[in-house]
Structure 1
């Protein structure tokens, strides 16, 4: 499997090969602030992700960092410091993904202005 994507301006392009895991929507406060609502992603092993261009990395906590385009600001990547995987934004994929949402995460932190009513597992 190969999924290709980019930021809004095209300065950062990426390709995820292998089978994406953890297809989820994050409702945490940090993802809401970075995206303006929520963030959908999947992850692959670091060796299965090729990035063209130079994302800016923001250390958002003691355990993780977030990658975004320094030109247009698109939030593209999330990386846990102790894991050999990187999450990538599903909304940045060119064309259909062929993936199915597996879970909603950090739902206790979700905004009060919407409901989650799709029947997908909530954590």
Structure 2
């Protein structure tokens, strides 16, 4: 993980429902630093304008989300293999940027440290 950018959480309803988790963790990297081993099973879906999510067509696993015009990709922390998680776990789970905090579930995610944004930070 030569490009150590930052991990982010999102508390919007769409991320909550798509991941089945109360809080969604992703790790942002430049798109140029990411290469998928099998593009054949990589499928894209856009539920909202200017954003898309990437899935594995074999297992349905959510792999990432990205802006149409952005230079970065936000990989789901849970999609990494165990050796990566064991090596970079603290980096991947120490989010300093928290999005859509106006939709947080009180008492569940209000303990998070870092910059909190009511919506997106861009």
TM-score norm. by structure 1 comes to 0.75
Are residues 1:64 and 2:45 paired? no
Q: Which runs of 4+ in 1 moved over 4 A?
A: none
| Alignment match, 1:105 | 99
What is the number of residues matched between the two proteins?
107
1:85 aligns with 2:76: no
Q: Any gaps of 5 or more consecutive residues in structure 1?
A: 3-17
Q: Tell whether the 8 Å contact from 1:43 to 1:85 is kept in structure 2 after alignment.
A: yes
TM-score, structure 2 as length reference? 0.76
* Native 8 Å contact 1:56 1:70 kept in 2: yes
Q: Which one has a larger percent strand, Structure 1 or Structure 2?
A: 1
| Deviation of 1:112 (Å) | 5.3
How far the C-alpha of 1:83 sits from its partner, in A, is: 0.7
Q: For 2:58 and 2:36, locate their aligned partners in 1 and report how far apart those are by CA, in whole Å.
A: 15
Gaps of 5+ in 2: 118-122
Determine if contact 1:65/1:78 at 8 Å carries over to the other structure.
yes
CA distance in 2, matches of 1:91, 1:116: 22
Superposed CA deviations along residues 68-117 of structure 1, whole A, max 9, x for unmatched, are: 11122211111101112111011222233241321221111234573421
Aligned-pair Cα RMSD in Å: 1.8
Q: Which has the higher helix share?
A: 2
Where does residue 7 of structure 1 map in the other structure?
Answer: none
